[in-house]
Amino acid sequence: MNVQHMLSRLSESMPWLDKQAETLHGALEPVFGPDAPSGVKDALYGVWMGHPLHPAVTDVPIGAWTASAALDLLGHERSADAMLKLGVLGGVASAVTGAAQWFDLQNLEEPRRLGSLHASLNSAALGLYGVSWVLRSRGQRDAGIATAMTGYAIASASAWIGGHLSYALGIGVSRNAFEEPVADWTDVATFEELPDGQLTRVEAGGAPVVLLRDGSAIYAASAVCTHVGGPLDEGERNDACVTCPWHGSEFDLRDGTVIHGPATTPLHAYETRVEGGSVQIRSLPG
């Protein structure tokens, strides 16, 4: 049995994680729910970076705790303790950004369950490192090291699940990552087929595209939300922007820019023109 299949079976065998996920989701609602401040959410999603913030933040506790373990083995006590404390601070930041990335995935069973398990294991590891911090400060170094090593083992197992969420299930990966650019002007519709002010789905180069006619202007971008693939042509239009109907990500169709998350990667946007009554598009340069 391969690793991916094993974790999928693990998810199926743990329906009790749904209750845990529901409780966690409710606790996070004030921070990440639809009524929460969008600026805070966007910062924690990583909109300002152009990709999810959580994977970058996780390097801090993993790296710091690995360094702490190595320094403990070498007998460099002060340096080991400093790295452990840095890892605890990074672990808190990792937990918050991970919660942001997980919050909107409740309709996907395996990510919902494994994400909840991932959070539980990371919380346990973080708690053990906190205990180790206290034990070291009280001079109980051997107990502190043993507690930290237990936390490291749990964090490593949790990181394995996190890797599965990212690389096997594609959480945090742009759903438009493999779209091929449309280099030449391509007919996608006639001008008369486009209702003014409405979103229309077409295809170009085998990829779904959403068109918006706004008077004489026409905007075009990928019709697939980069977050988890929501159909943007079914979303809500606001001027030249569209809001995904699944999780509320908002994009500017003029250039594909992310206005609000949870999506962090911009859409693939297109130039448009009308030739002989036909609407033509091609990929924006760069």
pLDDT at 3: 66
Q: Are residues 271 and 200 in the same domain?
A: yes
In a domain, 117, yes or no: yes
Alpha carbon of residue 202 to chain centroid: 27
In a domain, 135, yes or no: yes
Q: Are residues 134 and 246 in the same domain?
A: no
Q: Are residues 107 and 216 in the same domain?
A: no
Q: Are residues 225 and 275 in the same domain?
A: yes
pLDDT at 240: 94
Q: Which domain holds residue 58?
A: 3-168
In a domain, 174, yes or no: no
Number of domains in the chain: 2
Q: Are residues 160 and 193 in the same domain?
A: no
pLDDT at 2: 66
How many CA atoms, within 13 angstroms, populate the side-chain half-sphere of residue 205?
Answer: 18
pLDDT at 75: 94
In a domain, 181, yes or no: no
Q: What secondary structure letter does DSSP report for 52?
A: -
Total-model pTM: 0.89
Tens place of pLDDT per residue across the chain (286 aa): 566 777 788 788 888 999 999 999 999 999 999 888 999 999 999 999 999 999 999 999 999 999 999 999 999 999 999 999 999 999 999 999 999 999 999 989 999 999 999 999 999 999 999 999 999 999 999 999 999 999 999 999 999 999 999 988 999 999 998 888 898 999 999 999 899 999 999 999 889 999 999 988 999 999 999 999 999 999 999 999 999 999 999 999 999 999 999 999 999 999 999 999 999 999 987 6
In a domain, 50, yes or no: yes
102: nearest Cα among 176, 35, 169:
169
pLDDT at 1: 57
The β-bridge relationship of strands 258-260 and 207-214 is unpaired
- Strand partners of residue 241: 238, 252
Q: Are residues 125 and 21 in the same domain?
A: yes
Q: Are residues 214 and 163 in the same domain?
A: no
pLDDT at 156: 95
Q: Are residues 142 and 192 in the same domain?
A: no
Task: Write the burial class of residue 119 (CB in 10 Å: 0-12 exposed, 13-18 middle, 19+ buried).
Answer: buried
